[in-house]
Amino acid sequence: MAKIICLECGKSFEHLGSHLRRMHDMSGDEYREAHALPRGLPLASDSYRETRRQILAQSIATGAMTRPDQADLVEAARAAGRPGKTPSDKERHRKIMQALRPGDHSLLPDGACRANGRDAVREREYQRAYRAKRNGDPSDMDAWVAKYRG
Ligand SMILES: [Zn+2]
C-alpha cells in the first residue's frame, strides 16, 4: 500500500491525521499551513482513501450508515457551493503561473501584438467593452465599434 511521508519527522504513513495530532500536536490545517501545502490537499495515500471511500459507499448503500436529515445536508452543501479562493491562495497561484509561463499574465505594452497577431490595446478595449455590455452597459461597446469599425 502506498505511503506518504510526514514533512515534520520524515516517517511514512498511510494517513497523517492521527499521527500529526499525536506526535506533533497539530491539526491537518496547521500542518498544511506550516508547509505551504494547498488547503484541500489530502493527508492520506490514494489507496487508503480509495479503501475508505469503498467502505463508506458500501455502508451507505446497505443502509448501515444514514442520517434522518441526510437529504437536507446534501441539499445545503450543494447550495453552498465551493468556497472562494483566499488572497493567499490567489497570490500563491499567481506565483506558480508566473514560474510556469513567465510574462503570460502581465499586460502587453501599448503597440504590442498578441500571439495571434492582433493589436493588444484594441483587444483589451474590446474585452472591457464586452464585459460592460454583458453587465448591462452597452455604451463602451458602441464607442468601440465606432472607433474601430465605424
Ligand atoms: Zn511526523
Mean pLDDT for back-to-back runs of 10 residues, the chain (150 residues): 88 92 92 91 91 91 84 87 83 84 71 86 92 93 92
What's the 11 CA to ligand 1 centre distance in angstroms? 6
What's the 8 CA to ligand 1 centre distance in angstroms? 5
Q: How far lies 75's CA from each of 13, 63, 70, 78, 80, in Å?
A: 35, 19, 9, 5, 9
What does the pLDDT read at residue 147?
A: 93
What's the 17 CA to ligand 1 centre distance in angstroms? 10
What does the pLDDT read at residue 106?
A: 65
Distance between start and end Cα atoms, the chain: 67
What's the 54 CA to ligand 1 centre distance in angstroms? 27
- 145 vs 87: CA distance, rounded Å: 36
What does the pLDDT read at residue 138?
A: 93
- 79 vs 87: CA distance, rounded Å: 23
Which residues crowd ion ligand 1, with CB under 5 Å? 6, 8-9
